[in-house]
Amino acid sequence: QVLGSLFYAYYIFVRLCIPQFRNSSQETFNLRGLVLCIFNSILPGVLILFLVFFAFLHCWLNAFAEMLRFADRMFYK
C-alpha cells in the first residue's frame, strides 16, 4: 500500500502539478495567473496530503507495529 501510494502521488504530480507550473513559467507574472495557479494546485495538494497521511500513519506505522508485535491484543493486559 505504501508503494501504491507513492506511485499514485507520482501520477498526481505528473498529470496535475508539473503541467500547471511548466505553463506558468512561460507567462508573465500577474495576479490572475497567480490565483489560477493556486486554485489549480488545491486539489492535487489535498490529494497528496491524504496520501501522505494514509501511507505513513496507516500503512507504514501499522506494518512496524505488526512486525514488533505491538498491536498484539495481549499487550494491554
pLDDT, one tens digit per residue, over 23-42 is 776 778 888 888 888 898 89
Give the largest Cα separation in the chain, rounded. Answer: 65
Instruction: Map grid coordinates 505488526 to a residue.
Output: 66
Indicate whether this model's pTM tops 0.85. no
pLDDT of residue 73: 61
- Judging by beta carbons within 10 Å of its beta carbon (0-12, 13-18, 19+), is residue 42 exposed, middle or buried? exposed
* Contact present, 12 and 47 (Cβ < 8 Å): yes
Point out the residues of the chain with pLDDT beneath 50: none
**Gap between the Cα atoms of 68 and 76, Å rounded:** 15
Q: State whether the Cα torsion 62-48-12-18 is positive or negative.
A: negative
In the chain, how many domains are there? 1
User: Is residue 11 in some structural domain?
Assistant: yes
**Domain-embedded: residue 58:** no
Q: Which domain holds residue 39?
A: 1-52
* Residue at 70 is within a domain: no
